[in-house]
Amino acid sequence: MSARNGREALPDTGEMVVVHRLFTQEYRASVGLVRGVAAGDTARGAVVADHLAALGAMLTEHHLAEDELVWPRLKDDPAIEPALTARMEEQHERIADVLGRVEQLLPAWRAGADPALRDALADALDGLLPALDAHLGDEEEHILPLVPGCFTAEEWAVLSERGRAAVPKTHRLYMLAALGEAAGPDRHTEFLGRLPGPVRLLYRLVGPRLRRRTKSRLHGTRSAGPVGAPVA
Ligand SMILES: [Fe+2]
């Protein structure tokens, strides 16, 4: 599961880059997804609300794990300038505020698919994107390069384990396929390499179809066919 450089196992920081891409990919899509739920359509509202709740739980845990495991070790590193720390803390607070607002709006919107709540939710999600982009970008540019000097592969793997555990069981297939898309062509091989053998085999066989099917279910469009069917 960990990247290797010669004989020495290094922390697999590339996995976090793909997870960041998943967050931006899914939150970016979520704005239109929410706006597309018609007034009173509680069935669609429930599907979208469940998706947002899953994403919120995952992003909250992502940041919590970083707060607990990464910052205490890196905050005094001379390579991290105080301005960067201040900026990242501010972004972090902004993200936490929006996630709190989303969490607050979700139950009532889910219950009645009220259009005013829908618009407030979509506006909140729209406001999340700049802070998320900036925060994850700073993390990748300034924090991840310091990780190999401060963490062993095993220590860093705890973050991945916590991240995986935060994905609700009902959303695991969706998130697996979303992660595959987020990996993109440049990180596709390393994405496959992290999957346990049986899951890798399944993904090779049906990954693109799984993405189409789970995405169409979320978006309320027609199913792209059974997951088990061969992928053309
Ligand atoms: Fe991160």
Please give the full DSSP string across 157-198, using - where no structure is assigned. HHHHHHHHHTS-GGGHHHHHHHHHHHHTGGGHHHHHHHS-HH
Q: Round to whole Å and give the CA distance between 3 and 130.
A: 30
Q: What is the pLDDT of residues 143-158, one digit of tens each?
A: 999 999 999 999 999 9
The average pLDDT across 28-34 equals 97
Exposed (0-12), middle (13-18) or buried (19+): which is 84, by Cβ within 10 Å?
middle
Q: What is the dihedral of CA 123, 105, 129, 59, to 10 degrees?
A: -170
Give the pLDDT score at 222: 60
Instruction: Give the Å distance between the CA of 199 and the centre of ligand 1.
Output: 24
Instruction: Give the Å distance between the CA of 99 and the centre of ligand 1.
Output: 16
Residue 181's Cβ-side half-sphere holds a number of Cα atoms within 13 Å equal to: 17
Using alpha carbons, select from 10, 18, 4, 13 the residue that is nearest to residue 186: 18
Instruction: Give the Å distance between the CA of 184 and the centre of ligand 1.
Output: 18
Q: Tell me which DSSP letter residue 8 carries.
A: E
Q: What is the pLDDT of residues 45-78, one digit of tens each?
A: 999 999 999 999 999 999 999 999 998 888 888 9
pLDDT over 70 at 101, yes or no: yes
Instruction: Give the Å distance between the CA of 19 and the centre of ligand 1.
Output: 8
Confidence category of residue 7, pLDDT binned at 50, 70, 90: low
Instruction: Give the Å distance between the CA of 50 and the centre of ligand 1.
Output: 23
Instruction: Give the Å distance between the CA of 232 and the centre of ligand 1.
Output: 35
Please provide the average confidence, as pLDDT, over all residues in the chain: 91
